[in-house]
Structures are given as C-alpha cells and as structure tokens.
Amino acid sequence: MQKYTTPDLPYAHDALEPYIDQTTMEIHHGKHHVGYTTKLNTAVESHPELFSKTPEELLADLDNLPEDIRLAVRNNGGGHVHHNFFWEIMRPAQENNVAIGNLAKAIDETFGSFAKFKEELTQAALTVFGSGWAWLLIEDNKLKITKTANQDSPYSLGQSPVLCIDVWEHAYYLKYKNVRPDYIENFWQIINWDKTEELYNK
C-alpha cells in the first residue's frame, strides 16, 4: 500500500519573490499542503485498497467512495491535488509573461484577446466568496473559466484544469493582508505558461 505524498516544490521557497514571499510558501507548502495530504492518507487508510487509485481518480468518483470517507476525500483530497497542481503552474517571474502556443491561440479564440481573458479570470478570482479557487480549464473540448468553493474540485466535474489561482487567505494574507486584488494582479507575473501549454495539449 503506497500512501500519497506531498511533492517537493519545483523551485526554492523564495523563487517567487517578491510576488509570493518565502514565508508564505514555507507555510503554504510545508503546513497547509502537508496537512491535506496527511488527512487524506488518514481517511484512505480505513479503506486501503483505494490507495491503488490516484487522488484525481478518487475525486472523479466521489459518489462511489465509502460514505464514511467521502467528505474527507472531497476536502483533503481536493486540497492535496489542487496544491500539487498549483505549484506546477507557477515559476520565477519573467519579462512579458503571457500564454504561448496552442493555448495562446485558444485563449484568443475563446475570449477575444489575452487582455480580455486576463480580465475575466481576474474577475473570477476576485469574486470567489470566502475560500476557493479560480480556474482555466477544459470541458467538452472548450476552454472555460470557473470558480470552486473550498476544495471542491474540477476533477469531480469531469473538467481538466489548465491554470488555477488559489484565493484562500492562506495563499496571500501574510504579504497582502486583505488586499486580494494586489495578490491576483501580481500572480500574472509568475504563471508558468510552458506548463499550461503542456497541460492544454494533453
């Protein structure tokens, strides 16, 4: 039985400075993410045959999970999977950081322009009430912007994420306090568009 593990960050904790500070990354990854993974493992341990599935597969089939762990998997499995994803779609800041390749084309076709897309995803992230996420994802072969509450997952809705913004306060509060708009604006500097292009092409 192979338990789920929290992957290392694909860069140093200070690599996203000054947009996301080192202390936030240390706590977000080392405490919050590890906490979700630990609680997911604790839940699945009571039905260890489920460790043969990926955590994304668990989220995709919540209705068929044993009832006693369904909510724990929804919350902590979501937290585990979403953070795995979130670290991957960020990178150290680059000049002129915009979408590339097929994703760039699809963004233009779907939203009219990159600027319009940026505006729509920003608006989605700003208007998540309480804790949650804003997503760029694929559903029925189309690009879409969505929001989810808490750790509810696009994987439970048959959607394939391409990009996300964590708007839980733990993602930004130490540096930005209550000013979520500044965190979201700065997030555009550190999106890993190479990774999103790879995800889109899959």
| Interacting residue with Mn ion among 166, 176, 187, 196 (CB under 5 A) | 166
Q: What type of residue is 37? A: T
Q: Mark the segment that binds Mn ion (CB under 5 A) among 114-122, 152-160, 161-169, 179-187.
A: 161-169
Dihedral (CA of 126, 131, 134, 139) sign: negative
Show the tokens assigned to 58: 């668990």
State in angstroms the smallest separation of the CB of 66 from Mn ion.
Answer: 26
Under rule CB under 5 A, which residues in 171-190 are in contact with Mn ion?
171
Indicate the residue among 80 and 91 with the shorter CB distance to Mn ion: 80
Indicate the residue among 56 and 166 with the shorter CB distance to Mn ion: 166
State in angstroms the smallest separation of the CB of 185 from Mn ion.
Answer: 18
Does 152 sit near Mn ion (CB under 5 A)? no
3-state secondary structure 28-80: HHHHHHHHHHHHHHHHHCCCHHHHHCCHHHHHHCHHHCCHHHHHHHHHHHHHH
| Distance of alpha carbon 73 from alpha carbon 42, whole angstroms | 10
| Interacting residue with Mn ion among 36, 111, 117, 168 (CB under 5 A) | 168
Show the tokens assigned to 152: 């509810």
| Distance of alpha carbon 110 from alpha carbon 141, whole angstroms | 12
Under rule CB under 5 A, which residues in 14-33 are in contact with Mn ion?
none
Query: How many residues sit in the footprint of Mn ion (CB under 5 A)?
Result: 3
Indicate the residue among 62 and 78 with the shorter CB distance to Mn ion: 78
Does 56 sit near Mn ion (CB under 5 A)? no
Strand order in the sheet with 160-166: 142-149, 132-139, 160-166
| Binding interface with Mn ion (CB under 5 A) | 166, 168, 171
